[in-house]
Structure 1
Amino acid sequence: MSKEKISRISISMPESLLEGLDQMVNERGFESRSQAIGDMINNQINEHRAKQGSEVMTGTVNLVYNHSTPGLTKRLHDLQYQYLDEVISNLNVNLTNTSTLSVILIQGPADKLNMIADQMITLRGVVYGRLLLNSYIIPPIHPFPG
């Protein structure tokens, strides 16, 4: 596998910002400023793509919910079946007698994933919800016949 071509750029920034960058590089363990800046740029590109609409992305919907809320567990499962083409998998972990952590792996157009996540996050009984998207996609999964 060949390495991707590297381009050099030059940037200017205030001293205080450079000091903060160097501190972050050391604390997080980046090998260089370039690696840290590349990571930050990649994060910004992913966030930008996630807002663009039709770009196919992969991500997770992370939920913490009160599973004793009447009908909530069924509604979450119904939504996952309703969007079977986008919902790839899920993992549920019981945290307490009433709290469950759910991590739902999804893939599809960014605007549709945002809509699916919003439908889940806004359900009564969900105490925390967050959608995390990235521009990498998983290998194609054979779709169900028409």
Structure 2
Amino acid sequence: MDRITITIDEALLATIDALVAEKGYGSRSEAIRDLVRAAAKRDAAPELPCIATLSYVYDHAVRGLAQRLAQAQHDHHDLVVAIQQVQLDHQARLEIVVLRGPSDAVRRFADSVTSQRGVRHHALHLVPARLEETRHDHGAGAHRHLHVHA
């Protein structure tokens, strides 16, 4: 194993130390290795299929924002599986979008949504998957199922 030296500001170091304590890592090195592995795995194969949730809070009083978000979802109907909206207060709305498709396309869609003026907090959670479409008969007529194998 190689040893490296990095320069990091005090605030970020405090964040790393909090992560070490919270997750029970034996050292800062273990925490940083785990973060790097997760980032590498996340970015390794952008064309691979995934299922994902994109959640964000936005100010629905921002002129035209709700329409732009709806249009983006419509334009990417091949990725969007389901949408749920929750009115948090008079201006803030939480939206949760379930997505399915190539991870690079899902990330591009998420970036296009979350970069809109008026979108405040957001998180994207991707789950790598192998999607299979099978056709079989349950007795009530043949239909298709999409199987997710992580």
TM-score range, shorter chain: 0.5 to 0.7
What CA distance in whole angstroms lies between the structure 2 residues aligned with 1:74 and 1:66? 12
Correspondence list, 1:3-18, <5 A: none
Q: What is the aligned residue count?
A: 111
Structure with bigger RCO (C-alpha 8 Å, 6+ apart)? 1
TM-score normalised according to structure 1 size: 0.63
> Contact 2:49–2:131 at 8 Å: present in 1 too?
no
What CA distance in whole angstroms lies between the structure 1 residues aligned with 2:66 and 2:88? 15
- Which secondary structure does the structure 2 equivalent of 1:96 belong to? coil
2:42 corresponding residue in structure 1:
50
What CA distance in whole angstroms lies between the structure 2 residues aligned with 1:71 and 1:93? 18
Q: Deviations over 1:84-142 (max 9, x none)?
A: 01010011000010000001000111111110000000001101122110113676578
- RMSD over aligned Cα, in angstroms? 3.1
1:4 corresponding residue in structure 2:
none
- Which secondary structure does the structure 2 equivalent of 1:85 belong to? coil
> Contact 1:58–1:138 at 8 Å: present in 2 too?
no
Question: Quick check: which one's strand share is greater?
Answer: 2
Task: Look up the equivalent residue of 2:56 and give its one-letter code.
Answer: L
Structure 1 residue ranges (4+ consecutive) displaced by more than 6 angstroms after TM superposition: 43-46
* Distance change (3 Å), C-alpha of 1:138 and 1:72: farther
TM-score normalised according to structure 2 size: 0.61
Q: Deviations over 1:58-89 (max 9, x none)?
A: 11111100011110001111011100010100
What CA distance in whole angstroms lies between the structure 1 residues aligned with 2:108 and 2:98? 15
Q: Does 1:101 align with 2:100?
A: no
Mark the runs of 5 or more structure 1 residues left unpaired by the alignment.
1-19, 26-40
Correspondence list, 1:34-45, <5 A: none
What CA distance in whole angstroms lies between the structure 1 residues aligned with 2:122 and 2:37? 22
1:63 corresponding residue in structure 2:
56
TM superposition shift of 1:24:
4.9
